[in-house]
Copies of this chain bind each other. A is one copy, B any other.
Amino acid sequence: MTSITAELDRQLQADVNTMARITTEMGWVTHRQQAQRLKSFDLTVPQFMTMRALAQIGQACTMSELAEAALQVSATITGIINRLEERDLVERLLNPADRRSFRVSLTSTGLNLLDEIAQQKRSRLQTYMSHLPTTKRQELLGLLNDYLQAMQTELEETD
């Protein structure tokens, strides 16, 4: 007869395997699905995530700050911002305090586009989430949030 401890270990192993499969798959499916959806707005995933990072910072920030928030190196951000700026979705403003750097921010056009995309996403999620009982919903959110934070912490550590 097996001990309770061994039983729990086996269960943990099984759960870890399942979790490994789900998170790997979910990351890729999410990425490809987002790319597909953003295409109709003529945006790429990195462009969208950069705009989102700008919105989240809330105020004009430097290229370096933006690069860090968007999980990119600064050379990459330069290219992304160039393309977004050509379409008047973001703007570089001179920074009188330090003439080496800019203040980058979303234009009103950029902010509106971001709102439109967010609204579309909320509509899709509403259908899915309204099928879950309130307690399950909140438990899911809490666990996802913990997991996300664990991932973000880990990313910072390996920097």
Contact = CB atoms under 8 A, between A and B. Distances in A.
A24 interface: yes
Interface of A: 8, 11-12, 15-20, 22-34, 36, 45, 49, 52, 71, 118, 121-122, 124-126, 128-130, 132, 134, 136-141, 143-145, 147-148, 150-152, 154-155, 158
Contact of A20 (B11, B19, B121, B137): B121
Q: Which 9 pairs of residues, A with B, have the shortest CB-CB distance? A: A27-B30, A32-B71, A140-B143, A20-B121, A15-B137, A28-B49, A16-B125, A22-B144, A31-B31
Task: From A15, A122, A126, name the one whose CB has the most chain B CB atoms within 10 angstroms.
Answer: A15
A140 B8 CA distance: 17
Contacts of A24: 34, 52, 121
Contact of A26 (B122, B151, B158): B151
B28 A45 contact: yes
Nearest to A127: B150
Contacts of A128: 147, 150
